[in-house]
Structure 1
């Protein structure tokens, strides 16, 4: 089997999985009485925007739709369609594995660019008739946010390798603020009529991000990360099913994290029971208050 055939097989299986998820949540009654009327209603509202802009749009600054596009560029993660069995059957075929990863990355990057295109299309009547942007400025925005999304896919993939959750959060917050400032600065250049520099920066960022992403995902040692990412994605889809289906009994999952203070503290009572757990908690709380009082 060639990498192209394996890629098509994984894509079809991914479509079937999402189709099963959709049918498990939305039966024919939901589709007939909720989804189809909602689609018709949204389409009618969108067409009415082209004829007459809504009144609630008054006094809304351009930073709001600009920030919406910026948030859309942060969506998604790199996908490679890896499964657990690939560690056994495909690890000895690096060319096949590498070809599958590259095609999956380009396929998902195209999907994410279409998300930006959909966002721009929804905001198009506002951008044209209220904010009075030209088509050239709108195309510049689309190109820039598409390239920014490719860059963020690569950076978020690299940040996954950071073990500490606190450091990971600090890095993500810093990147969010820095790229937000850079995006507003680049738009100020576009607003002054200089489109060519933004085109040059966007295409350079897009090409460099694609090259670096293809290079890092082609490594055989990154197979465990790719499998973990795919499993996390399926788990998130399963959680959406539970949220959308109130008739399904939701299992209670206890996720315990180490506290900020007294991280090495252990249980006082060996026998676990509700009463012992409450006494254990109260004793530790009292001891912590005494330590803080003595330190003050």
Structure 2
């Protein structure tokens, strides 16, 4: 087996692993009733953008579009498809291992180019029809984006991937400031028509990323760093997919031992009145607010659904998606409640009691209120205000 065969074998294994994870949360019911309709709706919405730009794009300045794509620069890595056992078996064959690493890095470059092409096709109707910019400028814009993403990925590949928490945050500040400066300079150059300067920035970003990757590309002595990057990327993907399904039992993340939690360190009572209903509510509030995974999951579900409602132009699609969103959010809240309260050894024996049922109903109603208010604002109230105040 040569290096190319080994590389594609591992890429195939990687995709099989991802497919297996996705299958655990997407069954045939979800595929038929959610994924397929969402894909069909997306196609019709995209076609409508070529006919007439959506109304919401009028309030999106070009600078905001640049800011949105700046946030899309982060999260990628140059993968080499190294495995832990390679230190024993593959490291003896330096040529085979180095060839696989080089192939993985080159494929990572090409994958980011394909991502840029997809995003360019996605926003091309808005770029050409609404902003009235040329196709050449669109190509240069995504040339800047993908080259700067290469550079950010290369810089992150040189940093210590084991740093967590505030140390990782402090270390990331210079990277964000540097990338932001290049992105701002690119915005000014593109806006002023300095296409030659934009082209030079693309070339310099590409060259800088290659120089930073030179050691990983030419030697096998970066094995530990390569392995850490690949494992981090793999675990991040797994956590993201599993985070979409609260029904899948996940191993608890290791946390530093503390003498007392940050919130409710003295077991403060939230409700003065003691009742079974308030007891269940207090348990749920403390368990969810002490673990950011649940808070983050709630805002992710809320944010994604609300964003989809805003971007869908027809009113009937907004109302349909809002109804589906209420149903999905209700199921998600019920899953979290069951995991924290309903399946706990100390509380599951009370699952049929009135206090348990009322507590769950109150939690569901309270967490649905922000979503319902946002949907009402977007579907009826804001268009009504806009009809009287066109500038709003």
Into which bin does the TM-score normalised by the smaller protein fall? 0.7 to 0.9
- Please give the residue correspondences for 1:91-102 in structure 2 after superposition, counting only pairs within 5 Å: 91-102=91-102
Contact 1:98 1:218 in 2 (8 A): yes
Does 2:232 align with 1:238? no
Contact 2:186 2:201 in 1 (8 A): no
| 1:2 Cα deviation from its structure 2 partner | 1.2
| 1:131 Cα deviation from its structure 2 partner | 1.6
1:180 is matched with which residue? Answer: 180
Q: Distance in 2 between matches of 1:75 and 1:197?
A: 27
| 1:211 Cα deviation from its structure 2 partner | 4.1
| 1:255 Cα deviation from its structure 2 partner | 0.7
**Judging changes above 3 Å, is the alpha-carbon distance between structure 1 residues 232 and 178 closer, same or farther for their aligned structure 2 residues?**
closer
1:197 is matched with which residue? Answer: 197
1:208 is matched with which residue? Answer: 208
**Judging changes above 3 Å, is the alpha-carbon distance between structure 1 residues 158 and 177 closer, same or farther for their aligned structure 2 residues?**
same
Paired residue secondary structure (1:245): coil
**Judging changes above 3 Å, is the alpha-carbon distance between structure 1 residues 7 and 250 closer, same or farther for their aligned structure 2 residues?**
closer
1:118 is matched with which residue? Answer: 118
- Please give the residue correspondences for 1:136-285 in structure 2 after superposition, counting only pairs within 5 Å: 136-160=136-160, 166-256=166-256
Task: Provide the alpha-carbon RMSD of the alignment.
Answer: 2.4
| 1:86 Cα deviation from its structure 2 partner | 0.3
Contact 2:3 2:97 in 1 (8 A): yes
| 1:46 Cα deviation from its structure 2 partner | 1.0
**Judging changes above 3 Å, is the alpha-carbon distance between structure 1 residues 75 and 238 closer, same or farther for their aligned structure 2 residues?**
closer
1:78 is matched with which residue? Answer: 78
**Judging changes above 3 Å, is the alpha-carbon distance between structure 1 residues 257 and 173 closer, same or farther for their aligned structure 2 residues?**
farther
Q: Once the two structures are superposed, what CA deviation does each residue of 1:248-280 show, in whole Å capped at 9, x if it has no partner?
A: 23343341178xxxxxxxx8xxxxxx9xx9xxx
Q: Distance in 1 between matches of 2:173 and 2:93?
A: 39
| 1:120 Cα deviation from its structure 2 partner | 2.3
| 1:165 Cα deviation from its structure 2 partner | 5.2
Q: Distance in 2 between matches of 1:164 and 1:42?
A: 38
| 1:161 Cα deviation from its structure 2 partner | 5.9
**Judging changes above 3 Å, is the alpha-carbon distance between structure 1 residues 204 and 252 closer, same or farther for their aligned structure 2 residues?**
closer
2:47 is matched with which residue? Answer: 47
Q: Distance in 2 between matches of 1:56 and 1:102?
A: 44
2:135 is matched with which residue? Answer: 135
Q: Distance in 1 between matches of 2:82 and 2:145?
A: 28
2:35 is matched with which residue? Answer: 35
**Judging changes above 3 Å, is the alpha-carbon distance between structure 1 residues 250 and 208 closer, same or farther for their aligned structure 2 residues?**
closer
So what's the TM-score if we normalise by structure 1? 0.80
Q: Distance in 2 between matches of 1:249 and 1:215?
A: 40
**Judging changes above 3 Å, is the alpha-carbon distance between structure 1 residues 194 and 239 closer, same or farther for their aligned structure 2 residues?**
closer
Structure 2 unaligned blocks of 5 or more: 267-392
Contact 1:69 1:116 in 2 (8 A): no
Q: Distance in 1 between matches of 2:15 and 2:237?
A: 13
2:301 is matched with which residue? Answer: none
Contact 1:65 1:123 in 2 (8 A): no
Q: Distance in 2 between matches of 1:224 and 1:153?
A: 17
- Please give the residue correspondences for 1:54-69 in structure 2 after superposition, counting only pairs within 5 Å: 54-69=54-69
Q: Distance in 2 between matches of 1:175 and 1:232?
A: 19
1:270 is matched with which residue? Answer: none
| 1:181 Cα deviation from its structure 2 partner | 2.9
Q: Once the two structures are superposed, what CA deviation does each residue of 1:79-138 show, in whole Å capped at 9, x if it has no partner?
A: 111111101011111111111111001112211222222222222111112222111211
Structure 1 unaligned blocks of 5 or more: 259-266, 268-273, 283-296
Q: Distance in 2 between matches of 1:242 and 1:18?
A: 11
Contact 2:161 2:228 in 1 (8 A): no
Q: Distance in 1 between matches of 2:134 and 2:214?
A: 35
Q: Once the two structures are superposed, what CA deviation does each residue of 1:212-239 show, in whole Å capped at 9, x if it has no partner?
A: 3143344333212222222223322332
Give the paired residue count.
263
